[in-house]
Amino acid sequence: MPRPVNCLYGILLLIALSQAHAQVQLPLLGVGASAACSQASTFVARTSGENNAALTTFICGLVAAGMIDNNASMASTGGNTYCGSGSVFDRLFIMQMANSTDALLDVCGHTSATNTGTTFAANQGFTGGAAQNNTAWIDSQFDPSSGTNRYVQNSAHVGCWILTNVSNTDGMCVGLSDTVNSRNTWINEDAGGSAFVRINENSPSTSAAVATAKGDWILSRTAASTATLYQNASVVINDTATSSGVPQSHTFYILNQDIVGSTGSHGDPNQVAIAHIGAAMTSGQATTFQSLGCSYLTAVSGSC
């Protein structure tokens, strides 16, 4: 009776082949679904109780876009330290986190930012004091004149993602003013009024009317006389003022402005979810950042 034996053998062979195929395919599906990268894994390991999937998608998206180097160590050690020599970031703070300790971490791996007087809300961010206050700010710990940085005179950017729309006359969501050497950088986003900006310059602030303070603000200098302010990746201001140099010997404040020789006096009363500083961003990079950032904020809090 050879036929039943052959049939049984064929069935057993098919079962064995199917099991082998499944064993090969499942790990591949797992890798594809997680879209992991070492840069995200390194940062996530420093946090506690966060939305790790959303963080991984955000950071690995920046790596895939070339905005963080794909061999960056995200630390002070390694062959390509911090966010990498080709990254657009010197500092990147994802402040919409579950706890304030994680919200002050620099994704690139530098010393954490410090909080003076601002109020933290879980899975939202930090809110500043009254407009033009000199008592509340977040110190980025980033001095653009110290060390080797991505932020330089004619290739620089600052950014802040604002969640609220509070009247903000003369308040800065990010700022550093070197009055000694006449070199200033800031974004002033005023609810229902005007946005005012400078980046590495001493010319009078360039301004434009804006309908809301809310959104993803990025101010980028790409050349000596070319700077652009984006709100949600759309151009708000084209600034043609000539750069005068990098602000010296002080650090950038978030939700205020560090002024050389005095404390901050341009407090921003709004709430910030993300802040960052580094090399120039192109319009394409601003669009990519807005898309990835909005996806992250939506995953954590339901909207951006």
DSSP 175-212: EEEETTTTEEEEEEE-TTSEEEEEEEE-SPPEEEE-S-
Percent of the chain with pLDDT over 70: 86
pLDDT of residue 15 exceeding 60, the answer is: no
Mean pLDDT throughout 7-35? 37
pLDDT of residue 72 exceeding 50, the answer is: yes
Distance CA 220, CA 213 (A): 18
Closest CA to 277 of 165, 140, 147, 78: 140
Mean pLDDT throughout 226-247? 96
Distance CA 159, CA 188 (A): 11
For residue 131, what pLDDT is reported?
86
For residue 206, what pLDDT is reported?
87
Distance CA 276, CA 160 (A): 7
Tell which wins on pLDDT, 21 or 129: 129
Identify whether the C-beta of residue 231 lies closer than 8 Å to the C-beta of residue 124.
Answer: no
For residue 263, what pLDDT is reported?
63
For residue 262, what pLDDT is reported?
65
For residue 35, what pLDDT is reported?
67
Helix, strand, coil distribution of the chain in percent, nearest 5: 25, 30, 45
pLDDT of residue 85 exceeding 50, the answer is: yes
For residue 176, what pLDDT is reported?
92
Mean pLDDT throughout 66-78? 97
Range scoring the smallest mean pLDDT among 47-56, 128-137, 229-238: 128-137
Distance CA 5, CA 60 (A): 53
For residue 249, what pLDDT is reported?
82
Distance CA 253, CA 256 (A): 5
Identify whether the C-beta of residue 260 lies closer than 8 Å to the C-beta of residue 131.
Answer: no
pLDDT of residue 79 exceeding 70, the answer is: yes
pLDDT of residue 19 exceeding 70, the answer is: no
Tell which wins on pLDDT, 211 or 123: 123
Range scoring the smallest mean pLDDT among 6-10, 45-49, 92-96: 6-10
Distance CA 144, CA 157 (A): 11
pLDDT of residue 25 exceeding 90, the answer is: no
